[in-house]
Amino acid sequence: MPKSTAIWEALQSHYQEICDLQMRDQFAQDPQRFEKFSLEHNDILLDYSKNRITDKTMELLFKLARESKVEEWTQKMFSGEKINHTEDRAVLHSALRNISDKPMLIDGQDVMPEVKNELQRIRKLSESIRSRQWRGVSGQPITDVVNIGIGGSSLGPEMVTDALRPYGIHDMHFHFVSNVDENHIMAALEMLKPETTLFIISSKTFTTQETMLNASTARKWFLKSVDDTSAIKKHFVAVTSNRDAATKFGIDPENIFMMWDWVGGRYSLWSAIGLPIVISIGMDNFEAMMQGAYEMDQHFKEQPFEKNIPVVLALLGVWYNNFFNAQSYAILPYDQHLHRLPAYLQQADMESNGKYVDREGQQVDISTGPIIFGEIGISAQHAFYQLIHQGTKLIPADFLAPITDYHCIMRHHRVLMSNVFAQTEALMKGKTESEVRAELEAGGMSGEQLEALLPYKVFLGNKPTNTLLFQTLDPKTLGGLIAMYEHKIFVQGIIWNINSFDQWGVELGKQLAVKIQAELEDASEVTVHDSSTNGLINYYKNNRPEKQ
C-alpha cells in the first residue's frame, strides 16, 4: 500500500513544511526557477515552474517514482507482459506506432508483421477513397464518412480528426455518431445521400448495444433508398475483432479491419479505429502522428525521471491529488482545433485510473484518479475560471497552446497567447490586499466604499498550472502530446498500484439496462426495483406516447 511506505510519509511531512509557501515569493527568490523547472522534447516545452514545489519536493517525488518501480513496470509494458492482469492481456498500444524495425513480442510472438500488414490495408483503402477511385453504388465518389462507434471507438478518432482538420481533405465531411439517442444519428443522416456516404462501423466487440443499433438504423436508412443488399459492401466497412459478426452484417471481409485484445479501446486511435483520421489526413500525415508518438515513447522509456515529461506530469498530479487533496484536474487547450481534447482525456484518464481496488484486490487507502474536466481555455475564462481563481477548491491545470497558428493571423494569435500567459501568471501571483487597495485608490475610491469592495477583488493566487507550448499543432506534435498523456496516466496508475487498463466499472449499468429494456416493452407496472427506479420507470411508461 503506497500510504504505508516511508517515502509516502516523507512526502506527507514535506507537504506540511511547504504548503504555505507562496509561489510568488519563490519566483522572487529564484530568477532561475523557469530554467530549473522546465523541460523540452522535440518542439514541446513543458513549463512546470508555476507549481507548489521546491527542489526537495521533486527529489522526493522522483524517489516515489523509483520506489513504485515505474521503470520496471514500463519495461514490462513495452515488453508485452500481461500487465492488465484482470483481463489477462498485454498492453501494447505502443506497437501500433512502432516505426522502428524492432520486434514487439507477446507470448514470444512478434506482433509487428500483423500491425504493419493492417497499416498497409488502411493505406490502400484510405487512398482509394481520397483519390475518388472508390465508387459508391451509383458510381459517385464518397463525400461523407460516418463513424459509428462509442467510447474508445469514437472519442480518439473524433478528437484527432477535428484537431488536424487543417491537414484534412477539404471536400469530404466527417461525422461521428455515438449516442443511441436517435437524434444523433438522425441529425447526421438528414444531411447525407446514401450513394455518396461511407459508414465505418467501429466496434472491437461488434456487440456494443449503442453501436449495433446505430449501425442497423444506418443500414435500414441506406437500404430504403438503395434497395440492394449487395451495395452494402461499397458503403459499409468495419473495424472489429469480431469478423464473423461484421460479415453477417453484410460487410465485405476485404473491408473488415483488425483489432487486437492487447489494445484497450481508449488507447486504440493508432489502430484501424483511426480509419476516419487516415481518410481525412492521409496515411503520410497519420505516419507523422505515429512518429511523434513513437518519439514520445522513446523519450518516456529512455530519459531519466528528472528529464521525463510524462513522469514529471504524473508526479505533479500525484502531489496535488494525494497531498493537497485536490479532487479535480483541468485540461485547458488554447487551440480551437483541440476542442475535443478534454473529452478525450476524460475517458483516457478517468476510465483508466478511476479505481478503488488495487493490484492485489484490496481496497486502496489513498485517493486515485482525479476528476478530469476542461474546455477551450479562452471560452472557459468567460465561464468557469471564476471558480479556479476565487473558489474554495484547488484545481491544478494544464494550459496547452501553439506558438504558430495555422492561419497565421497575428492579431488573433497574440490576443490568444496574451491570455495564456496572463491567466497562468494571475493564477500563480494572485492579487494581494495592498495591491487591490492601491488600485482602487488610484481609481479614486476611498473610505467605506473601498473597504466594502476590497475583499471581493483579492485573489489568493498560489494556484498551480503547467504550460505546454508547442510550435504548431501538426500531426507529429499531436501524436507526441497524446502519447505524453497516455504515459502520464500509466505512471500514476503504477504509483497508485491500480490496473489502468481494465474498466469493470462500466459493466453494472450496462447489465441493468438490458433487464430494464425488457421491462419497457409493455405497459405493465414495474415493481421489482427500489421505489425510485420503479417510480421513474412507471412514470415514463405512463407518460410516453402510444407509439414509442
- DSSP letter assigned to residue 106: E
Active site residue 429: no
Which residue out of 118, 158, 287, 351 is catalytically annotated?
351
CB closer to ligand G6Q, 30 vs 87 = 87
- Please list every residue from 134 through 153 that binds ligand G6Q, using CB under 6 A: 150-153
- Please list every residue from 294 through 333 that binds ligand G6Q, using CB under 6 A: none
Active site residue 382: yes
Residue burial 22-46, b: 16+ Cβ < 10 Å; e: rest: bbeebbeeeeebeeebbbebebbbb
DSSP 364-391: PSS--SPEEEE--HHHHHTTTHHHHHHS
| Least gap, CB of 127 to ligand G6Q (angstroms) | 25
CB closer to ligand G6Q, 57 vs 153 = 153
| Least gap, CB of 239 to ligand G6Q (angstroms) | 8
Which x/- pattern over 479-508 shows residues binding ligand G6Q (rule: CB under 6 A)? Answer: ------------------------x-----
Q: Does 271 bind ligand G6Q (CB under 6 A)?
A: no
CB closer to ligand G6Q, 87 vs 144 = 87
Can you tell me the distance from the alpha carbon of 128 to that of 523, in angstroms, rounded to the nearest whole number?
Answer: 51
Which x/- pattern over 335-354 shows residues binding ligand G6Q (rule: CB under 6 A)? Answer: ----------------x---
The residue whose grid cell reads 479614486 is 444
Which x/- pattern over 72-91 shows residues binding ligand G6Q (rule: CB under 6 A)? Answer: --------------------
Binding residues with ligand G6Q: total (CB under 6 A): 14
Sequence-separated (6 or more) residues with CB below 8 Å from residue 391: none
CB-CB contact of 104 with 92 (8 Å):
yes
CB closer to ligand G6Q, 214 vs 462 = 214
Residue of 221, 151, 207 whose CA lies nearest to 179: 151
- Please list every residue from 207 through 266 that binds ligand G6Q, using CB under 6 A: 208, 211, 264-266
Which residue out of 116, 307, 412, 510 is catalytically annotated?
510
- Please list every residue from 193 through 212 that binds ligand G6Q, using CB under 6 A: 203-205, 208, 211
Joined grid coordinates for residue 412: 488573433
Can you tell me the distance from the alpha carbon of 433 to that of 451, in angstroms, rounded to the nearest whole number?
Answer: 10
| Least gap, CB of 246 to ligand G6Q (angstroms) | 12
Which residue out of 170, 220, 224, 382 is catalytically annotated?
382
Active site residue 487: no
Sequence-separated (6 or more) residues with CB below 8 Å from residue 340: 155, 158, 159, 162, 163
CB closer to ligand G6Q, 205 vs 471 = 205
Can you tell me the distance from the alpha carbon of 81 to that of 83, in angstroms, rounded to the nearest whole number?
Answer: 6
Can you tell me the distance from the alpha carbon of 177 to that of 201, in angstroms, rounded to the nearest whole number?
Answer: 10
CB closer to ligand G6Q, 203 vs 465 = 203
- DSSP letter assigned to residue 83: -
Residue of 217, 220, 255 whose CA lies nearest to 236: 255
| Least gap, CB of 492 to ligand G6Q (angstroms) | 16
Q: Footprint of ligand G6Q on this chain (CB under 6 A)?
A: 150-153, 203-205, 208, 211, 264-266, 351, 503
The catalytic site residues sit at 351, 382, 510
